[in-house]
Amino acid sequence: MALPEASVQLYTLAAEFTADMKGSLDKLAAIGLRNVEAFDFVRRPDEIRAALDASGLVSPTGHAPLLSDELWTPDGSIPTPAPEVVFEAAAKVGMKTVIDPFVAPERWATLEGVTDIADRLNRLTDTAATFGLEVGYHNHAQEFIADFDGKTAYEHFVSITDERVVLELDLYWALVGGQDVVGLVSRLGDRLVAAHVKDGIAPASNPFAPGAESFGSDTLDQRRAGEGEVPLADALRAASALKYAVIEYDNNPGDDVFADIAASYAFLIEGGFAR
C-alpha cells in the first residue's frame, strides 16, 4: 500500500483559522502539510478556496452534516443545510469526499435508527456523484454502545451501507468506545480511506453512553501522537487502503496549536506512516 498523505482537520485550529485564515494555512504549509480537512465550509467556500490556493494547500476531504437536521457537538449545535448545498460548496473548495462527522447517540441505540442512518447515506451516494464527490462517515464513541447480532452498531452500519460509502475512523474515539482499534482497522479493509490520528488517555467510561454526564472537548485528556494510549502505529500499519492520515485534536494538549500539529506531523512522517 502506498503511504497515505498527511492532513489536518481544521477544527483543530478553529479559533486561529477564523481569526486569520491565510496566516493559519501558511503556518500549516510551513510545517510541511499539503492537505487539510475543512469544516464549516458551506457558508464560505469561495473564501476558503482562495485561501487554500494562496497557501498552496488542498482540501481533498471535508466535514459537513449530511444525516441530521441539526448537528450537535460538545461545543454547540450547528444547523444543517440541504445536501445539494453542501455538495455544491464542497465542489467549489475542490474536495473529493464529504464526510458526515457526527450522528446523535440516540440514533445509534436501535436497529431502526442505524438502518435509517445507512439508508440516508446510501441515497446520497448518487447525488454526490453528480457533483464529482463521494460521501463518508466519521465516528465518535456512541456508535460502539449498542450491539446487534454480535456486531456493534458501527459495524452493522458498515455492513449495510453501499460500498461506495467510505469510512474515516477516528482512532481515539474508537478506543474510547472500547474497541480493539487495530482489529477494527483490519476488519474495515479497503472501505477505510481516512483515519483521524489522535492520541490521548481514554476517559474511564464512554461519555456518550446513556446516563453519562454531559461533557465538553476541554475535558478530554488528549496528547500529541505517540504520547497517549491509542495504538496509532499498529493501527496505521493495519490499514490496507488508507489515503489520508488526518491529524486532529478535540482538545489541544499544549499552548501552541501549531506546535502540537507539528509534533503529530513529525510522528507520521518520521515514523514512515504518511507522506
pLDDT for the residue 77: 73
pLDDT for the residue 69: 82
3-state secondary structure the chain: CCCCEEEEEHHHHHHHHHHCHHHHHHHHHHHCCCEEEEECCCCCHHHHHHHHHHHCCEEEEEECCCCCCEEEECCEEEECCCHHHHHHHHHHHCCCEEEECCCCHHHHCCHHHHHHHHHHHHHHHHHHHCCCCEEEEECCCHHHCCEECCEEHHHHHHHHCCCCCEEEEEHHHHHHCCCCHHHHHHHHHHHEEEEEECEEECCCCCCCCCCCCCCCHHHCEEECCCCCCCCHHHHHHHCCCCCEEEECCCCCCCCCHHHHHHHHHHHHHHCCCCC
Flag whether 275 is in a domain: no
pLDDT for the residue 70: 75
211-232 pLDDT tens trace: 998 899 999 999 999 999 999 9
Q: Model's pTM, two decimal places?
A: 0.96
Flag whether 252 is in a domain: yes
pLDDT for the residue 73: 59
Number of domains present in the structure of the chain: 1
pLDDT for the residue 71: 65
pLDDT for the residue 79: 74
Flag whether 54 is in a domain: yes
95-114 pLDDT tens trace: 999 999 999 999 999 999 99
Collect the ranges in the chain with pLDDT lower than 50. Answer: none
Domain that holds residue 158: 5-270
pLDDT for the residue 87: 98
Instruction: For residue 199, give the CATH number of its domain.
Output: 3.20.20.150
Flag whether 108 is in a domain: yes
